[in-house]
Structure 1
Amino acid sequence: MTSTDPITDFKNECAERIASYPEKTDLVEAARAFNIASNREKYSYNFTWMGRPIIQYPQDMIAMQELIWRIQPDLIIETGIAHGGSLIFYASLLELIGKGEVIGIDIDIRDHNRREIEAHPMFKRITMLQGSAIDERLVEEVKKRAVGKQTVMVCLDSNHTHEHVLRELELYSPFVTVGSYLVVFDTIVEDMPARMYDRPWDQGNNPKTAVWEFMKQTDAFEIDHAIDNKLLISVAPEGYLKRVK
């Protein structure tokens, strides 16, 4: 139904279009083919944010921007740092909002990456912790730093095995506040051809299988399928989990 408000009308048009995409078989198949071919060719490694490699798909970063602007988090926790591009990305959005900080966790923060991140103007909103994301002592340190934060978002992007991601989900989901998101990256592994990665993860053993298992254990989160339908091209299908209670 058309309203008298053009802004509302536009939002409704977008929502209706996005909801129709799962039925657009040509679009869905084209996106699936691109997801497979681009993952094989390491497409995500080609992008930077404010000078740092981000190793993410632009589509997912636009989705993250939309969520962060809407949620306005006081704290974003991310497991997995790599070159630090996503930490810089989140910190820059918080800088625009005018509040908030980012905690990045990695078992091995390489010296050259640490130097570049610490020298970046957005580092003022970033804290880096070195250690395993599933080390409960490190999680306790994160818990201390989260005290008093009203709105918290969590992003998981470290070791992608089922066992590791499931444990991350169990440990970090309590930090996520109602209405905010827990985003699990690289769930796309389950949708790729078997043995495509020279890593411990593969079909049947990856972040998406961990999400499926986690969702059996909780009713506090829902998979936001509207984001999946909108993006189509993403490394995190079924990985955008909204806390609803």
Structure 2
Amino acid sequence: MVSFRNIKKTLDSNYQLAYLRWYTGHNVWDTTLWRGVWSQKLPTDMWNYQEIITARNVTLVIECGARQGGSTLFFHDILSALGRDFRILSIDVEDQWDNKVNSDRIRKLACSDVSQQAVTAMKEEINKTKGSVFVLLDSNHSEEHVHEQLKIITPLLRTDDYMVVEDTIKEETMNGMMKFMNKSDYYTYDAARESKFGMTMARDGFWIRK
């Protein structure tokens, strides 16, 4: 007997792949802006992130990989609109932040997100925050780097903190993430949240700290 559920799953996967090919092939990802600042984020992911931040009482965002800081500004604006006492730790290997990314609530670090400088800053900000933490990993997508990021950030997070690993559409990113997840039991996979808008650059990458 034909499984219509399996057919739908296959069709959904094909539609998603076709859209992502269009999105990247037409360079839309490279011209996506927030307040005129380059973000390089999928709009459905950004909408999902603001829902997570709102629902989970997030007061600290740790962003690994920022480029010009369009997403940094986005998180700042969402948290400001929510009226929360918040902080954003934005880390990138280069100081490329746009001049608009300037607030006493934003801490910018130009260094590797697996360096001791970054780890120290993460610990400081997590220890100070009273709400939940939202972590976004979107920097070096090599298998080794992603695995190292997870080894470093996991012991710092508390129960119910949230993490998204982006660009798992790349094989090396997915391999680095699953290499860690398959050998540990620190997270719960949030399939419902990931699938809500039908399209994501973080396939299998939405995780809640246990």
Give TM-score scaled by structure 1 length: 0.77
Q: 2:119 aligns with which of 139, 144, 147?
A: 139
AA partner of residue 92 (structure 2): D
* Partner of residue 95, structure 2: 109
**Superposition CA RMSD, Å:** 1.9
AA partner of residue 50 (structure 1): R
Structure 1 CA distance, aligned partners of 2:101 and 2:139?
Answer: 18
| Count of residues in correspondence between the two structures | 204
Q: Is the 8 A contact 2:37 2:98 kept in 1?
A: no
1:41 and 2:22 correspond: no
Structure 1 CA distance, aligned partners of 2:199 and 2:24?
Answer: 11
CA shift, 1:93, in A, is 1.1
Structure 2 CA distance, aligned partners of 1:80 and 1:35?
Answer: 21
SS at match of 2:121: helix
Structure 2 CA distance, aligned partners of 1:21 and 1:104?
Answer: 41
Structure 2 CA distance, aligned partners of 1:105 and 1:229?
Answer: 27
1:218 and 2:184 correspond: yes
* Partner of residue 167, structure 2: 186
1:149 and 2:135 correspond: no
AA partner of residue 41 (structure 2): Q
**Residues 160/90 of structure 1: CA separation in 2 closer, same or farther (3 Å cut):** same
Q: Is the 8 A contact 1:87 1:102 kept in 2?
A: yes
CA shift, 1:24, in A, is 4.4
1:68 and 2:34 correspond: no
Structure number with greater Rg is 1
**Residues 95/22 of structure 1: CA separation in 2 closer, same or farther (3 Å cut):** farther
Deviation digits for residues 189-241 of structure 1, max 9, x if unmatched?
13xxxxxxxxxxxxxxx221111111123212022122333233211111111
**Residues 223/39 of structure 1: CA separation in 2 closer, same or farther (3 Å cut):** farther
Q: Is the 8 A contact 1:224 1:242 kept in 2?
A: yes
Stretch moving more, 79-88 or 175-184: 175-184
Q: 2:40 aligns with which of 46, 55, 70?
A: 55
CA shift, 1:42, in A, is 2.6
1:125 and 2:71 correspond: no
Give TM-score scaled by structure 2 length: 0.88
Structure 1, unpaired ranges of 5+ = 1-19, 191-205
Deviation digits for residues 148-206 of structure 1, max 9, x if unmatched?
3232121111111010111111111233332231111111113xxxxxxxxxxxxxxx2
* Partner of residue 205, structure 2: 239
Structure 2 CA distance, aligned partners of 1:228 and 1:242?
Answer: 12
**Residues 22/169 of structure 1: CA separation in 2 closer, same or farther (3 Å cut):** farther
Q: Is the 8 A contact 2:111 2:117 kept in 1?
A: no
Structure 2 CA distance, aligned partners of 1:224 and 1:22?
Answer: 23
* Partner of residue 169, structure 1: 150
Structure 2, unpaired ranges of 5+ = none
Which runs of structure 2 are paired with 1:11-30 in the superposition (5 Å)? 23-30=8-15
